[in-house]
A and B are shown apart, each in its own frame.
Chain A
Amino acid sequence: MGMSQTMSAPTAGSSLAPKPTMTLDEALVEAHRCLMCWDAPCIKACPTDIDVPQFIKRIANGDLVGSARTILDANILGASCARVCPTEMLCAGACVLNDLHERPIDIGRLQAFATDDVVFGDVEIFSKAEPTGNTVAVVGAGPAGLSCAAELAKLGHEVVVYDANEKPGGLNTYGVASYKMDIPTSLAEVEFIKGLGVEIRSGVSVGSDVTIESLISDHDAVFLGVGLGGVPALDLEGEDLPGVADALDFIADVRAGSVDLSGETVAVIGGGNTAIDAVTQASMLGADRVYLVYRRGPEQMGSYAHDVERARQNGVEFVHWVSPVRLEGVDAVDGLVVERTVLSDDGKLSTVPETESRIEATVVLRATGQAKRTSFFSGIDGVAIDAGGRVVVDDSFRTDNPSIWAGGDCVNGGKEVVNAVQHGKLAGRDIDEKLRAVAAMT
């Protein structure tokens, strides 16, 4: 590579380590800033309905156990949501202090402060419910599955979670940006959920190692929280060259600590949250130059403004209105050829002929959207998927198969961890209700 190290990205915020948690003094100062709004907008902005002013007031009053319970009753993954939630778009974004020319309450870090001793320490706040004798199978140990499993275990049901990956946690373990949460934190939270009485069988792929039919016959109910698949190939010439990869695999490798990008030039194709996480981490890992290559403009990007800003501060260069044509290289990729795009008056995106240009890149990452697991669902009796490849459920997260519930990314097409947690929680409550109703009838 011709680039010298002095040309590398600025180092502002260039640490992959997550932000440290608050000290008690910091937390108290912050907690006392909360106005304790009536019918508070932060509660309504939280997909899991955490009573934010209540948990903050309890920090201020020195009742950390009560604060943790307020959070975890509503969101059992409160500790990871505290770290990975886009709070600027949710609770903190709704904070009325934004309108008072003040910094909003740092709700995420307060939530981490309140929950860490319970989730990662030895403070116990949940007592075991009377066993119901029911067993439930949960497919997928990601946020949706863990949330559902925890809810059911708290209600006295025996829960077994099946997960294809080596480690549990789903995207919390494999997919979130390292500067938001590290792997040990995700795994420690899973241990906390296991402590509620949840059994997790890792490395078991439902569909190949064990059939869905056997799960249905061995359990009283099944919850599907399988998430989405990898980023599908773009079918471009040269896509199989070494150096071309799925951005999600890249992020998982970064989290495993096995990536060194010094001397490399990285191009990430896509404009969503995965693309932004990939470029920011690539820059933090010492890449000489990092490009985000997106076929539309800044306004159409699916990523959050604060994440885009962090990427900018890390020296990421944004290339808008171009579409990838082919990848070039001999033994490995060394360039990404793109052509300009244009938006017609009727809103259709098209490419402009004769506008090809080449971006020098030794690493090219696809972040163009995760695949739906359509083939997995099509084999399950009574589980329908819509045109977008999403599992169809009712308000209680029931599929048309009376034994199967579903939630999380496979239902909403890919949203935040906190959305998946809410699905799992509500599904768990509905499963409990149904199983109790059945038991009452027999």
Chain B
Amino acid sequence: MADLSVNICGIESPNPFWLASAPPTNTGDQIARAFDAGWGGAVWKTLGVPVENTYSRYSSVDINGSKMMGLNNIELITDRSLEVNLIEIEDVKRRYPDNAVIVSLMVESNPEAWDSIIKQVEQAGADGIELNFGCPHGMSERGMGAAVGQVPEYTCDITIWAKESATVPVFVKLTPNITDIRVAARAAKRGGADAVSLINTINSITGVDLDSFTPRPVVGNQSSHGGYCGPAVKPIALNMVASIAADPDTADLPISGIGGIETWQDVAEYILLGSTTIQVCTAVMHYGYRIVEGMHEGLSNYLDSKGMASVNELRGRSVDRVTSWENLDINYIVKAEIDQEKCIGCGLCYIACEDGAHQAIGAKATKDGKTEVWIKTDDCVGCNLCSLVCPVAGCISMVEQDVGQTSMSWVEYSSDEPPGELIPRPKHGVTTRG
């Protein structure tokens, strides 16, 4: 069994699996149950001046029958009093001294307000605080949340105030509703942040009720943009995590990765791209705290299979595999190959390639009405699309071709002295089709 314990900016956690600041961390009772289920840490639902919420507040996107591939919310920060929350923080910390309890905070932009609340949650026993500079709805209209996170100077200034008041580590939670996440992360670092958490939710409208014409979630006969999360946002979040991990200015800034995490594979990917801990919300809102059991088991088995004794050995291993396009080897050749034994004759690869890609798959109807397909290897640009649409595991493989080529990037190819020849690409729309 690999060691799953981690240390993020001085905070010990029995494992990297944390709950994000959200409805699953609304109360002490919930967090206690989550710790019992196996979660290593939790970020308490954002404290501040308690709010009043709308009743209707979540909406989702289903894809081909899979429920909640994306979740949207217009819920605000806690609607419970600070006093009650502080009592519960103290109680949870007393009962679960080994679990990490981080408290998310959001107050108006003045140093006194931040100082007051930080002192109170530290007093209650918080292991760290997370500055919520990401909430994209409601709070931002009141000059908080994303309104701070979208202006690097504000991010930096308020982080400085928080650091002046806090004795425990300070996480800054970043909003993805910006053009370059690295700018926000650098601002947090300038302000003295001990770590960053990302991503917060993405501005969204999940859909429109086609009978009433009201977007969802329907609040009377209106709606409002909300914050999008869940499996649909994971690729966006992974890119942002990797960008911060690869940025020389923030490479040493610990990251708590957030966005669409549901399985141990998701966790491993976040860690490979530089996260120390990860935070989960939507998957728990969908299935409950029990999903962490599969994460423990799965990540541990994976680390064992890789011969790693600790999850720390995995961290950041993929960061330097992300580079600019101009550095990629344009002489790296792959071609599709179809395993005819496995092919079920659905023809999806054919029509995807024919209409949607590079017209490099041949097809003809068989006697039993199915579609026989073959790769026109000379025309195949190796784009991967056929292997992506194929419903049969292992039926279409992308096979690396060695024609004795020299690897060469675009930068090298454009230089005065290229290291080798450019391997010719299949040309389309020029020759007569056979």
Q: Which residues of A contact B346 (CB under 8 A)?
A: 35, 37-38, 40, 96
Chain B residues packing against A (C-beta within 8 Å): 64-65, 344-348, 350-351, 363, 365, 368-371, 391-392
Counting chain A residues whose Cβ lies within 8 A of the other chain, the interface size class is 20 to 34
* CB contacts between A and B, total, < 8 Å: 51
In the complex the two chains form, what is the Cα distance from A32 to B369 in whole Å? 22
B65 touches A38 (CB 8 A): no
Which residue on chain B has the smallest CB distance to residue A99? Answer: B344
| Contact residues of A between 141 and 188, Cβ < 8 Å to B | none
In the complex the two chains form, what is the Cα distance from A31 to B371 in whole Å? 21
Q: Which residues of A contact B370 (CB under 8 A)?
A: 41, 94, 96
Q: 5 tightest A-B contacts by CB?
A: A38-B347, A32-B65, A41-B369, A38-B351, A44-B369
Which residue on chain A has the smallest CB distance to residue B352? Answer: A38
Partner of B348, one of A38, A94, A99, A100: A38
Which residue on chain A has the smallest CB distance to residue B350? Answer: A38
A100 touches B65 (CB 8 A): no
| Contact residues of A between 80 and 113, Cβ < 8 Å to B | 94, 96-97, 99-100
- Nearest CB in chain A: distance from B215 CB, A: 18
In the complex the two chains form, what is the Cα distance from A45 to B368 in whole Å? 9
Q: A39-B365, A41-B345, A96-B345 are known contacts. Are A60 and B351 too (CB-CB below 8 A)?
A: no
Which residue on chain A has the smallest CB distance to residue B365? Answer: A39
Whether, in the assembled complex, A439 has its beta carbon less than 8 Å from a beta carbon of chain B, the answer is no
Chain A residues packing against B (C-beta within 8 Å): 28-29, 31-32, 35-42, 44-45, 60, 94, 96-97, 99-100
A39 touches B371 (CB 8 A): yes
In the complex the two chains form, what is the Cα distance from A28 to B350 in whole Å? 26
Q: Which residues of B contact A44 (CB under 8 A)?
A: 365, 369
Known pairs A38-B350, A100-B344. 9 more at Cβ < 8 A? Answer: A32-B64, A37-B347, A37-B371, A39-B365, A39-B371, A41-B368, A41-B369, A96-B344, A100-B391
Main SS at interface, chain A: helix
- Nearest CB in chain B: distance from A226 CB, A: 32
In the complex the two chains form, what is the Cα distance from A29 to B65 in whole Å? 7
In the complex the two chains form, what is the Cα distance from A40 to B368 in whole Å? 11
In the complex the two chains form, what is the Cα distance from A36 to B351 in whole Å? 11
In the complex the two chains form, what is the Cα distance from A99 to B344 in whole Å? 6
In the complex the two chains form, what is the Cα distance from A365 to B385 in whole Å? 59
Q: Which residues of A contact B391 (CB under 8 A)?
A: 35, 100
- Nearest CB in chain A: distance from B390 CB, A: 10
In the complex the two chains form, what is the Cα distance from A256 to B32 in whole Å? 66
Which residue on chain B has the smallest CB distance to residue A44? Answer: B369
B365 touches A99 (CB 8 A): no
Q: Which residues of B contact A60 (CB under 8 A)?
A: 64-65
- Nearest CB in chain A: distance from B391 CB, A: 5
Partner of B347, one of A31, A39, A94: A39
- Nearest CB in chain A: distance from B370 CB, A: 5
- Nearest CB in chain B: distance from A120 CB, A: 24
In the complex the two chains form, what is the Cα distance from A45 to B370 in whole Å? 10
